[in-house]
Amino acid sequence: MEIFWYVIIAVVLAVFFVLDGYDFGTGIIHLFFAKKEKDKEVIAKSAGLFWDSNEVWLVAAGGMLFMAFPTFYASVFSGFYLPLIIVLWLIVFRAIGLEFRGQFKYQMWKDIWDTSFGVSSFLLALFFGIALGNIVRGVNLGSVENGVSAHEGHYFFLPLWDSSFSPLSETPGVIDWFTIIIGLISVVTLSIHGANWVILKTNSSINSKLKGVIFKLNIALTILTIFSLFVWQIVNPNSLDNFIDKPYLIVFPIVYFTGLIGLFFIKKIKKNSHAFVLSTLLIVGGITSSLASLFPVILPSVNDTHEHLTIYNTAASEYGLSVALTWGIIGFILLFVYMIIQKRLMGGKIDNMDYGH
């Protein structure tokens, strides 16, 4: 039952980053590349019409974590308290940026909320990548210093950064040079995904330019990916053991590299939906590869005093998991019905649809 819920939550998180990921990426494209008011309006619309339904998946993932792995839920929501509050405020400012920009026709008003939308989207992409970097790197469970544990084994609290700014520190912070690298990979990946979404859903005048942007970003992503694999070995020398012990897990990195290689042919791809599928493979492959490298661990401990948090030592009781299954099925049905209706109502190009007025 633990493995079942682990897979389901991983799928829900992957769907969230695919769906809301293009919203983040759209905001980044809007911030750096949209110059004409007409382009700004239609690009903001391509995110604004979808962001609220996409974030339902994040709420669903949080609820499922609470039901299935309550110890893990309690641990990360206290340990990552500071970055979670920052993410919450960024989500708020991104949303009001989208909702407020069209309320008045004053240019200064639009510029303020365009900046709010773009900067918040950029920082959200960065912080979600940093969060993944923290999960991959591990945390100081039990707040151990000099071999002495200050708290119980599932408790930790991270400052935003440690004075050493190193992932190898005994007391690492949320932000260090390793998590920044993973954060940059997230920003580039979601920028590519957002650009593909803008091309797919709009007739913006910068669509042809965006294909060249995607190609250049893909080069940067390739360099960052190769570099991150090397530094990952420094941070965690056993990071590839799962792929050696269970060769079938190699399917997840293959998914990632299929998307990465495919996007080098972005200028030759005729159907915009095919390019969007390739950037989707990047996101799905990256997340699943990271989780597969850790399984069954879901939060590594950087000290030897306390064991890692796994799907087994953080799970609810069998009864709790079975009850969660019943309500989970009901929730999934409602979620899929909502998503299908919303996507069908907003199929095709959205240039002429009404939003934000």
Using an 8 Å Cβ cutoff, are 194 and 25 in contact?
yes
Q: Let me know if residue 354 belongs to a domain.
A: no
To the question of pTM greater than 0.95 for the whole model, the response is no
Using an 8 Å Cβ cutoff, are 101 and 113 in contact?
yes
Q: Let me know if residue 60 belongs to a domain.
A: yes
Q: Let me know if residue 244 belongs to a domain.
A: yes
Q: Let me know if residue 281 belongs to a domain.
A: yes
Range of the domain at 206: 2-345
Q: Let me know if residue 355 belongs to a domain.
A: no
Pairing state between β 309-310 and 297-299 = antiparallel
Q: Let me know if residue 352 belongs to a domain.
A: no
Query: In the structure, how many helices (H) and strands (E) does the chain have?
Result: 13, 4
Using an 8 Å Cβ cutoff, are 169 and 337 in contact?
no
Would you give per-residue pLDDT tens digits along the chain (357 residues)?
788 889 888 989 999 999 888 999 999 999 998 888 888 888 888 887 888 788 888 888 888 888 889 899 988 888 888 889 999 999 999 988 888 887 887 878 888 888 999 999 999 999 999 999 999 988 888 777 777 666 777 788 888 888 888 888 878 889 999 999 999 999 999 999 999 999 998 888 888 899 999 999 999 999 999 999 999 988 888 888 888 888 899 999 999 999 999 999 998 888 888 999 999 999 999 999 999 998 888 888 887 778 888 888 888 888 888 888 888 888 888 888 888 887 787 777 777 777 655
Q: Let me know if residue 337 belongs to a domain.
A: yes
The count of domains in the chain is 1
Using an 8 Å Cβ cutoff, are 292 and 315 in contact?
no
Q: Let me know if residue 211 belongs to a domain.
A: yes
Q: How many CA atoms lie within 13 A of 352 on its CB side?
A: 2
